[in-house]
Structure 1
Amino acid sequence: MLEEETLLIILAALQGLLSQTIHVSQIPIIWAKEGSPVTIPCDYNISDKNSTSMGSYKWYRDMIKSGLEVSENNHNYSGRLSTADTDQFISKRSATIVLYSVEVEDSGMYYCEVTLQFIHAVSGYGNGTFLNVTVSSSGPPSYLVMNIIRLILGVLVFLVALSVCLFQPRCFL
């Protein structure tokens, strides 16, 4: 009888470990200006609050698993990527990445995949974050352009008034 109870307890514990689920959260959209850094957050929760000390994460662009992997090994992101360290990933449950010097070509859907190791590997995927990179204006701000135009027009009006006045004998009296 004691062996059956022990076996049932072990089976219940194993069933709990085998039925682990991971919920991965991503924000739907991020706007960034070309040339700036952008943080793409990814957080996860597990169904059982027992902690794990083993796991990994990957990022994909455009499609989960079959999309372009976002990593230092990919020449499109090499030297422009910062990833969460092990402490952030395990303790804070964060798989956030930072992409530096974003380009318009970086626009697209980014998916986070989290894999944790229990008795077997369990993976979860976020719904994706759309990164929209806009072109930054290379010229001066519009208010500066308007002030320069006003100054030039003011100088022109003054010069026209001065030249008209020079030909009028009573202008300076």
Structure 2
Amino acid sequence: MGNYFETIFSYGDTIFQGMAFATILALGIISVFIFLGIYVYHSITWMNIAKKFKYKNSWLAWIPLGEWAMRLHLGNIHWAWIFLVLVPVVGWIILFIFLTVATWRIFEKRGYFGWLSLFFPAMFVPTIAEVSFVIYLVIIGIISWKKETIINLSPKRSKRVLIRRSKKRIKK
């Protein structure tokens, strides 16, 4: 009689293990599709940003390290700094800072606040990582597909406008 109950309970364990495996497999497949969707979106947005700057190699947005080199180049930082990725930890931190500065410059060239690029490094702060990642994706989407800025938000350009206006007042 004891063997009968052990057989029934062992089937239950097997069914539970099968359900757990199927759940983990389904979550893995869903995660792969989400990752691919984010990768395609990110690549398309950076490719569009590069096209707006008339960058001839905008296809580099589809290559992970190529996208970083392109971003450095668009931000007026030499692309060769990408080789810092070969230097463990210190090189990665320096490259990360360069990428943030380059993104800041790109956003300002497009007429947006440069500080919006700070959502890029905020993705690595554990408590706000998910929120800043979503905000970063929304921001690069706006910068990529928005025809013009509603208001000129670049601090450099606004200073020039103020200087021009003050010179006109003096001449009158």
TM interval, shorter chain, is 0.3 to 0.5
TM-score, length of structure 1 as denominator length: 0.34
Structure (1 or 2) with the greater strand fraction: 1
Scaled by the length of structure 2, the TM-score of the pair is 0.34
Higher-helix-fraction structure:
2
